[in-house]
């Protein structure tokens, strides 16, 4: 039948939209693909089908590469199929993740799901003919954080309807996309130059150094979903994702646990109407449940032992990916998969960025980062704190020398020591410009008068005799040190240390002439910036954390979609 994964379902499910409700079916809250509300049955609702499985494809790609160590030699020839794009097109570049005290380095990988319709395969899978010539959107964005000691993994999803400020992005050909003057929906970042601008937007918002990205379309998803051999998922009630006017994914499942694969798995992963409150937030939670369950299945059963089948699946996955230059070889992807494979499912935590519905005019149904709790989640990733509250493993015994670094992809199989840190110049030789940014980003307060001069004088007393008050100002909520070139990184870090600022306050930027100290709203008075609050030790409940070992997770069903 149509709702049960048949050929008719494929026609109506893969090409058909997960569209708007009508009649007595409760309309969901949430934003459209671009402007306007998600309510109703217009083109924005038909586009819901295209956000489904790019994240699934990316994780499957990694799992397939990791599970298939025996088939490694079979797909070396795929090197020529790997597509690459620039890692970061923005002005702010934080550099790579920093080693911990034991010389181990965490990894942050941004997984981007593109809805591009740039070839026949993707057009056939997703339909939506009205978007074939349109700019691609980053409708799935998930940051995967692998801890420095490889004991745990965190995934942070950002809802596609999140509103934020877009950074300035400059493409390799010189095309400039100016910074937005107002809030823009996060999925539009991809159309501002490519995945490097999506990375830049995440960097601006979270201050997390992103080491790699993987951008995925969905033409290889169907064959990979079948290869899993079935994934158990759970619903609290009978569910049928079909509105009265025939829209929806068509998913039809009885209450309880069902083993799904193939077309039915596709339906599960793209279902919005029928799960929770009918928004993309519920769909994200369903995807988290599916991926955790899939990871457990891979651990329990060696399903991909056929080298020929593995090769075809790996080829489908790789041809569907665009990666940054740091992942441009099969051996680098293989090394990355081996690093990811070290984490047991019980130490994988899936989360969604804490959010609130926007109350701004014209943004009905859109969301914004939840003040405080979203930053808490980002800070935990920045500081390599496990989201599950279990802490890290024991990387080295007390008193021992630093452990070898689990190095970046491409050399992950080789133990390497962390590179020696650059030596900063003496404070008296470090030129510093001090800018008054005490009004904050929202401009709600006037800048503290004369603050740049006061802080420049304070720095001179600490030996930074070349510190001068700049006539240019800024707008920062927290005090930050920015520097222009790699040679200035150690000096900028020394300045931050002298002031008691955290390492995360030091940023590389193309918009400053040298080392610039922006005195933020948090330091309007006094001789020292306020000490940061202790970091959280567990993800906030508003992040909806889901542990990889939780095989009891079950999706709540939206009223009006039961049978």
Q: CATH number, domain at 343?
A: 3.30.420.590
**Residue 172 placed within a domain:** yes
Q: Does residue 444 sit in the same domain as residue 342? A: no
Q: Does residue 358 sit in the same domain as residue 498? A: no
Say what the pLDDT of residue 515 is: 97
384/270: higher pLDDT: 384
Say what the pLDDT of residue 423 is: 85
Say what the pLDDT of residue 130 is: 46
Q: Which domain holds residue 509?
A: 427-523
Q: How far apart are CA 189 and CA 144, in angstroms?
A: 19
**Residue 176 placed within a domain:** yes
This prediction has a pTM of: 0.72
Q: How confident is the model at residue 308 (pLDDT cuts 50, 70, 90)?
A: low
The residue among 299, 395, 302 whose CA lies nearest residue 341 is 299
Say what the pLDDT of residue 387 is: 96
The residue among 277, 323, 219 whose CA lies nearest residue 560 is 277
Q: Does residue 338 sit in the same domain as residue 287? A: yes
Q: Does residue 473 sit in the same domain as residue 362? A: no
Question: Does an H or E element contain 221, and which?
Answer: helix 221-228
pLDDT in tens, 315-343: 666 777 889 999 988 888 878 888 888 88
For residues 162 and 136, the answer to whether their CB atoms sit within 8 Å is: no
Q: How far apart are CA 313 and CA 68, in angstroms?
A: 10
Residue 522 has pLDDT above 50, yes or no: yes
Say what the pLDDT of residue 105 is: 92
Q: How far is CA 69 from CA 65, 78, 408, 411, 545, in A?
A: 7, 15, 19, 16, 31
Q: Does residue 374 sit in the same domain as residue 455? A: no
H helix runs in 329-478, sequence order: 330-341, 373-382, 451-461
Q: Does residue 340 sit in the same domain as residue 476? A: no
b/e code 116-147 from CB counts within 10 Å (16+ = b): bbeeeebbebbbbeebeeeebbbbbbbbbbbb
Residue located via tokens 């409150």: 277
Q: How far apart are CA 439 and CA 181, in angstroms?
A: 18
pLDDT in tens, 360-412: 999 988 999 998 899 999 999 999 999 999 987 654 433 333 333 333 433 33
Q: Does residue 343 sit in the same domain as residue 490? A: no
Q: Does residue 384 sit in the same domain as residue 472? A: no
Non-local CB neighbours of 263 within 8 Å, separated by 6+ positions: 5, 6, 9, 10, 13, 14, 222
Q: How far apart are CA 308 and CA 314, in angstroms?
A: 10
The residue among 192, 143, 141, 134 whose CA lies nearest residue 166 is 192
Number of domains in the chain: 2
Region of residue 324 (left: phi > 0; alpha: psi -120 to 50; beta: else):
beta
pLDDT in tens, 91-142: 888 777 888 878 899 999 999 887 654 555 544 444 444 445 567 888 789 9
Query: What phi and psi, each to the nearest 5 degrees, are found at residue 264?
Result: -65, -35
The residue among 539, 533, 532 whose CA lies nearest residue 499 is 532
Say what the pLDDT of residue 310 is: 60
Q: How confident is the model at residue 222 (pLDDT cuts 50, 70, 90)?
A: low
Q: Does residue 358 sit in the same domain as residue 440? A: no
For residues 27 and 42, the answer to whether their CB atoms sit within 8 Å is: no
Q: How far apart are CA 412 and CA 443, in angstroms?
A: 46
């Amino acid at each position: 039948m149509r709702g049960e994964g048949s050929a008719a379902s494929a026609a109506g499910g893969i090409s058909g939209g997960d569209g708007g409700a009508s009649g007595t079916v409760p309309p969901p809250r949430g934003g459209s693909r671009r402007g306007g509300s998600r309510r109703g049955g217009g083109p924005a609702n038909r586009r819901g089908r295209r956000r489904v499985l790019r994240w699934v494809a990316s994780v499957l790609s990694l799992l397939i590469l990791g599970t298939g160590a025996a088939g490694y030699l079979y797909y070396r020839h795929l090197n020529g199929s790997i597509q690459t794009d620039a890692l970061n097109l923005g002005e702010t570049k934080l550099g790579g993740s920093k080693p911990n005290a034991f010389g181990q380095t965490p990894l942050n990988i941004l997984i981007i799901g593109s809805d591009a319709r740039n070839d026949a395969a993707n057009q056939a899978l997703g339909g939506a003919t009205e978007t074939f010539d349109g700019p691609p959107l980053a409708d799935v964005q998930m940051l995967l954080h692998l801890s420095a000691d490889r004991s745990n993994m965190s995934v942070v999803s950002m809802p596609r309807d999140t509103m934020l400020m877009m950074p300035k992005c400059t493409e390799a050909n010189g095309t400039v996309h100016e910074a937005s003057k107002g809030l823009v929906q996060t999925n539009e970042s991809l159309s501002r130059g490519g995945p490097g601008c999506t990375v830049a937007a995440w960097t601006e918002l979270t201050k997390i150094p992103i080491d790699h990205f993987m951008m995925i379309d969905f033409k290889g998803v169907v064959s990979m979903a079948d290869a899993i051999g079935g994934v158990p998922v759970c619903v609290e009630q009978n569910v049928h994702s079909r509105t009265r006017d025939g829209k929806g994914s068509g998913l039809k499942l009885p209450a309880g646990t069902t083993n799904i694969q193939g077309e039915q798995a596709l339906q599960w992963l793209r279902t919005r109407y029928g799960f929770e409150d009918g928004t993309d937030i519920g769909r994200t939670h369903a995807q988290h449940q599916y991926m955790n369950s899939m990871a457990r299945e891979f651990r329990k059963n060696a399903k991909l032992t056929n080298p020929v089948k593995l090769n075809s699946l790996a080829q489908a996955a790789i041809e569907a990916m665009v990666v940054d230059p740091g992942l441009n070889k099969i051996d680098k992807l293989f090394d990355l998969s081996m690093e990811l494979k070290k984490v047991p499912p019980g130490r994988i935590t899936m989360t969604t960025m804490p959010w609130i519905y926007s109350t701004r005019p014209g943004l009905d149904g859109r969301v914004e980062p939840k003040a405080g709790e979203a930053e808490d989640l980002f800070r935990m990733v920045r500081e390599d704190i496990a989201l599950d509250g279990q802490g890290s493993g024991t990387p080295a015994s007390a008193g021992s020398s630093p452990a070898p670094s689990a190095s970046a992809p491409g050399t992950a199989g080789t133990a390497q020591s962390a590179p020696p840190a650059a030596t900063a110049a003496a404070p008296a030789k470090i030129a510093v410009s001090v800018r008054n940014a005490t009004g904050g980003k929202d401009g709600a307060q006037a800048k503290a008068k004369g603050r740049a001069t006061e802080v420049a004088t304070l720095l001179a007393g600490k030996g930074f005799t070349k510190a001068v008050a700049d006539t240019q100002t800024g707008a920062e909520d927290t005090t930050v040190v920015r520097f222009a070139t790699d040679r200035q990184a150690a000096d900028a870090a020394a300045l931050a240390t002298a002031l008691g600022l955290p390492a995360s306050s030091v940023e590389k930027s193309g918009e400053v002439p040298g080392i610039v100290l922006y005195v933020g709203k948090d330091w309007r008075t006094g001789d020292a910036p306020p000490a940061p609050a202790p970091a959280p030790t567990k993800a906030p409940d508003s992040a909806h954390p889901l542990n990889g070992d939780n095989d009891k997770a079950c999706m709540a069903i939206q009223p009006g979609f039961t049978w």
